[in-house]
Amino acid sequence: FPVTIRVREAVARGIEVYNFANFEVLLNFIESQRAATCFLHHSYSLLNPELLNLIDVIEVVHNPYWWQVGNMELLNLRRSMKRLVCVSEYVAEFTTKMLLVNKDSVVIIPNCIPVENASRRIKSGGRVFLNVANFAEQKNHLLLIKSFMKFCLDSDDYENELWLAGKGIVANLGSYIEEILAENTKVKIKIFHLQNHEDMKQIYTESSFYIQPSTFEGFSLASLEALSYGLPIAISRCGWSIVTGK
């Protein structure tokens, strides 16, 4: 199995980790181990009648899956599930109303994070505005960059910085940032392409504020992590921010 930070953490906590070559090997393993429950998350290649007939399946739903609206095949498979776990009331409401999942099969378990290693240290001088998210359209990086540029140009402070940390690619984002930096010396933007989660600790501790302008979120883990490091956060009105009203 690829040795990632998550795998090492799981093994350290006494969890056995396996990598199955194909679906048939997985089914044979489940039968041999007499497993009672299978948790799935974004594993739709495994979501089929053969698995559902063999074991109780619980799916973890972490976002409003709007792209699945009207998918009758998934709907019929989910009706055979023992339970669906949604990470917020917002996600649960979307799942029952838009994906037509039986409300009685849904349970809400909010996202959580370990905080024993969290620490707080504001970066000396200036202010660092942080966003942690995959570089994807729904994370709304362009709006954040435009807003930060306006803030910098309207401010007398030259020490403000915007840090964007994540994985993936947003079309033309890099060239857009380069153009802004070339034309505006007051605007300072850094991009951190994360290789693993351990890279995040220093980034959080050296930041001053956390900003998340996503167009949709289920229950943002990055926001929870920012809070655990003592950062004030500003997030768009979507997902759990609607539920909490903050």
Give the Cα separation of 90 and 108 in Å (integer).
10
Interstrand relation of 189-193 and 209-212 (parallel, antiparallel or unpaired)? unpaired
What crossing angle do the helices spanning 173-183 and 141-154 adopt, rounded to 10°?
10
Give the Cα separation of 6 and 12 in Å (integer).
10
Contact 150, 144 (CB under 8 A): no
CA-wise closest residue to 233 among 208, 199, 203, 201: 208
Share of the chain above pLDDT 90, in %: 17
Determine the residue type at 42: H
Contact 89, 115 (CB under 8 A): no
∠ CA 87-221-139, rounded to 5°: 100
Q: What integer pLDDT is reported at residue 32 of this predicted model?
A: 84
Can you tell me the mean pLDDT for 204-228?
87
Two tokens at 231?
């950062």
Residue 139 CB partners (closer than 8 Å, separation 6+): 131, 133, 166, 170, 212, 213, 214, 215
Determine the residue type at 52: L
Can you tell me the mean pLDDT for 207-218?
89
- Please check the confidence at residue 103 and state whether its pLDDT lies above 60: yes
At residue 148, φ and ψ (nearest 5 deg) are -65, -40
Whole-structure pTM value: 0.74
Beta bridge partners of 40: 59
Contact 79, 102 (CB under 8 A): yes
Can you tell me the mean pLDDT for 116-144?
77
User: Cβ–Cβ contacts within 10 Å for residue 140, how many?
Assistant: 20
Contact 207, 128 (CB under 8 A): yes
pLDDT band with cut points at 50, 70 and 90 for residue 1: very low
Q: What integer pLDDT is reported at residue 69 of this predicted model?
A: 92
Q: What integer pLDDT is reported at residue 130 of this predicted model?
A: 95
Cα 107 to chain center, whole Å?
19
Give the Cα separation of 229 and 132 in Å (integer).
13
Q: Of 15 and 106, which is predicted with more confidence?
A: 106
- In Å, what is the CA distance from 26 to each residue of 33, 105, 159, 160, 193? 11, 25, 54, 51, 33
Q: Please report, in angstroms and rounded to a whole number, the separation of the first and last CA atoms in the chain.
A: 41
